[in-house]
Structure 1
Amino acid sequence: MTASATIQTLSGDDSFAAYVARPEGEAMAAIVVIQEIFGVNAGIRRKCDLLAEQGYLAVAPDLFWRIEPGIELDPDIAPEMQRGLDLMGEFDQDEGIRDIEATIRWARGEIGGGKVGAVGYCLGGRLAFMTAARTDVDATVGYYAVGIPDLLREAHAIAHPLLLHIPTADGFVDAAAQRAMHEGLDDHPKVTLYDYEGLDHGFATQFGERRDEEGAQTADARTEAFFAEHLAK
């Protein structure tokens, strides 16, 4: 079952929308799905639907609401890809983490205080790392996260399991950045990194030209097993 929800900000003086997918029975946990630079589009909503089919309450907050509510972009359309890149520059990531934290609290309330995870893609992968370091989320996954070397100073604060999927031919994350991620995180007891040889940014997108079917299925299977281990009751 899918619906929309209104979530209060941490300060309680404003609110933002979120897409919600619920399982048929009782949710075994909740997962916050963190958008790419393209908003809560059809691909992100489908990610939520698939998680609901696995038994989770899945919620995707509209993190761009302060810029413009309801943004939905298609990365296969050049002007919309550029709009997404522009939005990343306008977006306040610290505010975004606070909105994710508000969403975690909302989701935890919806499932009676149970465990809440998070999964993010691209910009959302970066925000997933920040969520793992700055909130009480129970388990987190990031796909093709951008700019992680700039955040490694926060790695000491990661107290719960974090999984990162790293495509080696990522056009937005060069070899030096990937090397820095491994050097900074391989020895972290809570962090697991998987490399995907020859795959590019966006390989696990649900729809569109960027998807690599074999790579996406491999990464998603690892994510499913990770959440089953760390979130399921």
Structure 2
Amino acid sequence: MASNPPGRCCAIGVKHEGEAQGEIKKIGDVRTYFSYPENKSTQNAIVIFTDILGIDFINVQLVADQFAANGYFTVVPDLFNGNVVPVNPPADFDLMKWVQTEMPHPPKVDPIVEATIRHLRGELGVKRLGGVGYCFGGKYVCRWLKEGKLDVGYTAHPSFVSTEELEGIKGPLSIAAAETDQIFPAEKRRESEDILQKMNVPYQMNLFSDVEHGFAVRADLSKKPAKFAKEQAFLQAVAWFDEYIKQ
């Protein structure tokens, strides 16, 4: 494994303040959050694969709106069909049971990803497509970073990524990592770096101190180091997409 399976830290975080600017629509039968750039262009687009909190968590909607504000048509498909984990679940919530019995795996998620990409590249006319994966979603950035699918990838604190999935990417990949992260700890970061060094694709890995797993989307913004790291991880993603999507 290039990163470990999810744990309780994948559902811990702070709900951010703000009002979403996008809207929930459907791609086929899948609820999807849409956020458009000011010029309404869909030529350059980003699809966000969420953590286990899903698309209705305001934080990911605000992140999608931020990408849109930077010129990228952004969509966030519901990979879980609404069956998500609540933020900061109560002590009696059995997360590991949810992971083992309820969490969707590739046979359920891959068709959603495929349908989303097909809709974007077909009906909506997307020319260049980036993938963003937070935690659980990082796996699907790696799985779909292929010719004709995702052109560019970015993931923050990924989980559930297999060695084979990372070895199989065919496009540029940027990774934002937390200093304290049992899902993507130092040994997994080094393993991932060793894999990427042997591959003929551009890559980047930034490590942020004083933050934990989930910081790029669920950071406590009242803490200066966490706020700084979250903002820098987002700017990392935008700079990466500006380099490899806006051609």
Tell me the equivalent position of 1:174. Answer: 185
Change over 3 Å in CA distance of 1:182–1:166 after alignment to 2: same
How far apart in 2 are the matches of 1:222 and 1:98? 29
After superposition, the Cα gap between the structure-2 partners of 1:88 and 1:109, relative to the gap in structure 1 and judged at 3 Å, is farther
Change in CA separation of 1:201 and 1:210 when aligned onto 2, cut-off 3 Å: farther
Give the counterpart of 2:132 among 119, 124, 134: 119
SS at match of 1:6: strand
Change in CA separation of 1:145 and 1:57 when aligned onto 2, cut-off 3 Å? same
Q: CA deviation at 1:111?
A: 4.1
Larger helix proportion of the pair: 1
Report the AA paired with residue 38 of structure 1: L
Residues 192 and 86 (structure 1), Cα distance of their counterparts in 2 relative to 1, 3 Å cut: farther
Structure 1, unaligned runs of 5 or more: 9-14
2:63 & 2:25 partners in 1: Cα distance?
A: 17
Distance 2:222 2:160 in 1: 20
Residue type of the alignment partner of 1:32: V
Separation in structure 2 between the aligned mates of residue 84 and residue 18 of structure 1, nearest angstrom = 25
CA contact (8 A) 2:157 2:214 kept: yes
Q: 8 Å contact 2:178–2:211 — kept in the other structure? A: yes
Map Cα deviations across residues 76-105 of structure 1 (whole Å, 9 max, x no partner).
34459x566554432232121221121122
1:73 maps to 2:86: yes
Q: CA RMSD in A?
A: 2.6
Q: CA deviation at 1:50?
A: 0.8
Q: Secondary structure in 2 aligned to 1:213?
A: helix
* Separation in structure 2 between the aligned mates of residue 153 and residue 132 of structure 1, nearest angstrom: 13
Q: TM-score, normalised by structure 2?
A: 0.78
Alpha-carbon distance in structure 2 between the residues aligned to 1:230 and 1:24: 21
Counterpart residue identity of residue 220, structure 1: F
Aligned position for 1:48: 64
The CA deviation at 1:177 is 2.1
Deviation, 1:170, is 0.7
Other-structure match for 2:51: 36
SS state of the match for residue 33, structure 1? Answer: strand
Do the aligned residues in 2 keep the contact of 1:115 with 1:231 (CA within 8 Å)?
Answer: yes
Shift of 1:186: 2.9
Structure 2 unpaired stretches of 5+: 1-20
Q: Which residue of 2 aligns with 1:137?
A: 150
Q: Distance in 2 between matches of 1:195 and 1:158?
A: 21
2:216 corresponds to? 204
Give 4+ residue runs of structure 1 displaced > 3 Å after superposition. 76-80, 82-89, 206-211
Quick one: percent identity of the two aligned structures?
Answer: 24
| Secondary structure, aligned partner of 1:223 | helix
CA distance in structure 1 between the aligned counterparts of 2:96 and 2:64, rounded to whole angstroms: 23
- Give secondary structure in 2 for the equivalent of 1:106: helix
| Alignment length (residue pairs) | 220
Q: Which has the higher contact order (CA 8 A, sep 6+)?
A: 2
